[in-house]
Structure 1
C-alpha cells in the first residue's frame, strides 16, 4: 500500500512504507564514546501558546464603573483562568527514560528543548529539576543547559553574570552537570574578547564541578553572531581556546556546533589534555565520532533525539572495535539529519517533534509556542519518508497512519 507525499513544487509522489523497522541491538551501556542526546520537550496540547492575559496571581479585574452590583461583566472579565502547564511532564520524562535505556546521556534544557524559542526559564528550571531527579532514579547520565534567557531586555555584564550564576546554581542544586551555553545577552553586552575571558573565567571558578562549554554557531541562532568577541571564526577560536586552557581543570569538555567538520577537528586537536570534544555537528557526526589516528569526538547532538536507538546501536559497534560497522549503521542517517537541519536551521526542532509523534513517543504533533507550524508540509513529508527508509519507526504502520492524518488536516488526499 502506498501513500502520496507532497513535494515543494506542489506535485506529489507515491511512497511505499517499510513493513518492518530496522533491527538494533538490545539496550545497554556504551563504553567507547560519551554520547548525549539533546532531548525535546513534549508540549501540553491544551496549553495556550500565548501568555495568559492575567500574568499575576493578584485579584481579578474589576468590572467597569457603571455596572450594577452583581451584574456579569462579560466573558473577558472576572477571575483569572487556572494556569495550564505548557509541558506534558509525564510524557516528557518518559521520553528521557527511553533515551537512557539505550545507554545515551540526556542533554537537558538545551536549544532542542526550545530554550529561547518558547520555553521560558521558569519552565526550563522545573524541567532541569524533574529530569535530574528522574536521572538519579534510573541511573541515567544528565547534563543541563545554563544560560541567561531569563533576561528579557538589554543588560550590562554584571547582570548577565548574575543571570548565569542563577541558572548555574539551579543545575548544581539539581545534581546535574552544567553545560554553559552561549548567551544572546552577552553578545550585546560584551565589548570584545576580554569580556568573554573575564566572565567565563569567573563562572568556571565558581562551578563546583567541571562543565561542558557550548559554542553554538549563528546558523543555529542568528543572535549569536560574533560570539567570543569576533565574527571571524579563527579569531573567535583563539579566544575560546584561551578560556579552556586558562581553566582546564574546570572544563570536562567543549561542544562545537558550527557545522564545519574541518574546524572542529582542528579545534579538537588543540584542546588541552583531558578536555574532551563533543560534536554538535548534525551534518558530519559519523566521521567526527569515528575519528582518525589523532583522536575523535564524543557526541552531544539534537539529531540523536530521534535517532537514539540507531545511534546507540552504531556506537556499540565502535565499542567492539568495528569502525566499518559503525559507519554502516550511522552513515545512512545523515540524509535525514541534513534535511531536518536545513536552513533556517533553528527550526530543526519541528522535524524532531514530528518524528517523535510518528514514532509513538507522544500522542500529538504540538510544540510549545505553536512551533509545529515552522516547517512546510512538504518538508515534514520528506522527513517522514527519509525516516521510514532507514527503519526509524518502531511501528511503521502507526507512523504511516499518523502521517496520513496530518496530510488530511492539510487537505491532501494521501
Structure 2
C-alpha cells in the first residue's frame, strides 16, 4: 500500500513554508493575548486605585480588609486567621487585668483559647500606630515561614475592623529587659549565659539556616522573650526583612531602636546581617554589664556601652564591667568570653565583625577569642562620592582614639 504523507496534495515548497506560517501565526496570537492581559491588568489597577479614592470610609475599610487578607494568605500556612470575636472572648474583651504590657506598637494581653486549650499573648496593634499594617503583614508573612525553638511562635492573626491582632504562644516570664533591671530579682549568670547563647542560635537560623536570609533589624532585650524555663525566644518581626541569595544587605528606611542600631546603618539606611550582629553585640554587653546602651558618666558625658567596655578592655580590666548585682558569682572565663565577643560584634567596621556562626562557636568555647585592638577603633562616615551609589557610605578607620 502506498504510504500517504500527512501533507499530501501540497507542493514541497508550500510544505516548507507552512511550519513558518504556523509559528508566525501562533506568535502573533500569543502577543495579542499578552497585550490584552497587560491592558486588563492596568485597567484593573487603575480602577482599584480610583475606587479606593472614591470610597466612603466604611466601604474603604472593607475593601482594605480584602487586600490585607489577600496579602496575608500568600505564603502563610500554619498560623491561622482568627475572628475578632474569638480574640475578644479569649482576652475577656481586652480587659485591663489581662494587659501584659504596652508600647509604641500597641498593647499585649493574656488570653486563653478554649478550643485549643492554650494560653496565648494577643498583640493589639492599631492601624495608625508607628508599626502600621505594613509591619503587621511583614511579621505574619516572615515569621510564618520560620520554625526554631529560640523564636517566638506565631499562632495566628486577625484583621478586623480598624484593628490588627497577632496571636503568639504565651511567654510566662515576659521579656528579658524586665528581668535585667528588676530591683527585686537578679538573673543568675548561668541563666544569662543560656539566654545569650539561645539568642545566638536564633540568629544563626535566621542568617544562615533558612531558605532565604532574614534580617531582624530590631534586636534588643524587650524583643527577647522568656518562656517558663527562661529559654530565650526572639520575637517582634514587624521590622524584619528578607534578603535574596547573593545580597548581603537590603536598602530600607532607618528602623530599629537607638543605641542598638549600627551607626553606619543610621546614615546609610541599609539593613544587613552585619547590622544585626552589631545589635547582638550590644545585647551581649547589656546582659553581662546590667547597663543600658547609653551611659551617663560622672562628669556628665554620655558614652555608648561599647565604648565604655572597650575602655576597660584596653586597661586589662574588662571584668570590672560585670554587673555588680551578681556580686562576683559568675564564671570569669565565660564572662570575659561574652564581653569580648560583644566588643567584636560591636566593632565600628562592619567588615571586621564576626558572622553569627563564628560568634556561636566562640560562645561555646569551640573557637578562640579574637585579637581586638587595644583601643576601640574610631570610625568616621562620609557621604558617598557617587550620588547614585545607593546610599553606601565610605568608612575610614583610625587606630586609637
- For normalisation by structure 1, the TM-score amounts to 0.27
Specify which structure has the bigger relative contact order, considering alpha-carbon pairs within 8 angstroms and separated by 6 or more residues. Answer: 1
- For normalisation by structure 2, the TM-score amounts to 0.27
Larger radius of gyration: 2
